[in-house]
Amino acid sequence: MTAGNASNDAARARAEELRAELARHDHLYYVLAKPAVSDAEYDRLFRELAELERTFPALVVPDSPTQRVGAPLPEGQGFEKRRHEVPMLSIDSLFSEEEVRDFEQKIRRFLTLPEGEPLDWVVEPKFDGASASLTYVDGVLVRGLTRGDGEYGEDVTTNLRTLRNVPLRLHEGERTAPALLEVRGEVLIEREAFVQFNEKRVAGGEAPLANPRNAAAGAIRRSDPTEVARYPLVFQPWAVVRIEGVRFETYWEARAALDAWHFPVNRWAERAHGLDECLAYHARMEKQRAELPFDVDGVVAKLDRLDLRERLGTTARSTRWQYAHKFPANEATSTLRAIECQVGALGRITPRAHVDPVEIGGVVVRHSTLHNADHVRALGLRISSAPTATRRSCRRASSGAAPTSTAAARRSSGARCSARAAVRSRSMASASAWSSSCMTRACCGVLRTCSTSTRAVRSWSSSTAGAKRPWRTCSSRSSARATRASSAS
């Protein structure tokens, strides 16, 4: 053996040793929160490995800690879309104990189970983040996809590699890595880390981010992995959808395997024997909601036995073996400043409220759908009223599947809220309904609408008998013209 070969072999052995040591310290620090070395010692090991790889380029492997942060996308190039091997379907969202019990009864009827036999569930908080999928081949991370539309997702592998609690190579100790593994989970930012990150942004002259969920969703789609690495992103797995070479009987066993492979596992998850324990867990998590480090909007309960899941299967949109029991909607009181009439392509009018900005569950709400004129009339809304805005979720929560329409996406993200509840104040002070499509200056009043396929009429009628108010006739295809009419017309 020549001196050169001996040197190469020694460098290869040392590089493998350093990669394993750095991966172990990453797991201890980012997953277990039990650091074993100082930052200076970790940096020394990292620099030694980087120097070896510079000296011997053949030693560079994709799962090396030095390769977490890759090169940015070329300017003007977007992420490639790839098909999900297993579609990311939705979870039925339930809002009451009665709905939860009805859901279980459907499962029992489908499986023809006796009434007295309790089902075993795994219950865990429903984190409010950005769903993603990680695929490993022979223990090495090869692909990371966003949720996308549930059928196709964007390939953001280079960005997901920057998450420090995501293993680039599965740890093989008590368990051998499978030939193929696909894990799905949520990309999140802890609330405390989000506050600190925003403080750094403001100090650096950048605008603060709105909330952890939007920050996480936006970060994983950035074109430069170096920028993504600045975000305090973490990954929380919630499903194993594909695996080869290993077989589990329960989801709880799969969680144990993920833990052995050095994935972060949800430490708030529990096994529940029967539906009463699921409901008790939901009540407990609702009380502890503010104490959790992440934003959550409910509890997910999934059958533990995988054979029962296979028998139940799925519908076209959702899985039959799990549900999301949502927490009560977040509410806040604001002040109504204007009602805007949005005219659709076919002339249909949808009133929308403009309210003073108010934060609801981490989202700043400035607008709220009012559905139709009857809804406005039923609420008794007036300019300067003080309605309660409620941030609602759509009936189906995501389990890795994206909403199938723009409207559904808005509902699930909380961009729309429903302005309901009693009007706390009915000040009749006039206000300027600020201009948008089909807006005019008007005093407060009840909205009256009619529409045809070619034009829409909006009328503001005064609560004072005999008073005259301006109205505007608008067309979605032509310029608006204004005239006057009495409120009795």
Query: What is the rounded CA–CA span in Å between residue 440 and residue 426?
Result: 21
Name residue 138's amino acid: D
Rounded-to-integer distance, Cα 265 and Cα 236, Å: 7
Residue with tokens 């009018």: 349
Taking the mean position of all CA atoms in its chain, how far away is CA 453? Answer: 37
Distance CA 182, CA 472 (A): 57
Tally of CB atoms within 10 A around 483 = 8
Selecting among 34, 81, 106, 126, the annotated active-site residue is: 126
| Cα–Cα distance measured from residue 466 to residue 281, given in angstroms and rounded to the nearest whole number | 59
How far are the Cα atoms of 17, 18, 42 from residue 14, in angstroms, in the given order? 5, 6, 15
Q: What type of residue is 10?
A: A
Alpha carbon distances (Å) from 132 to 16, 33, 220, 341: 29, 23, 9, 37
* Torsion sign (Cα): 280, 281, 283, 288: positive
Taking residue 316's Cβ as centre, other Cβ atoms within 10 Å add up to: 6
Helix (H, G, I), strand (E, B) or coil at 432: coil
Catalytic: 34? no
| Nearest CA among 333, 318, 334, 476 for reference residue 408 | 318
The C-alpha atoms of residue 136 and residue 180 are separated, in whole angstroms, by 6
Dihedral of alpha carbons 330, 334, 340, 341, sign: positive
The whole-angstrom separation of Cα 111 and Cα 95 is 24
Active site residues: 126
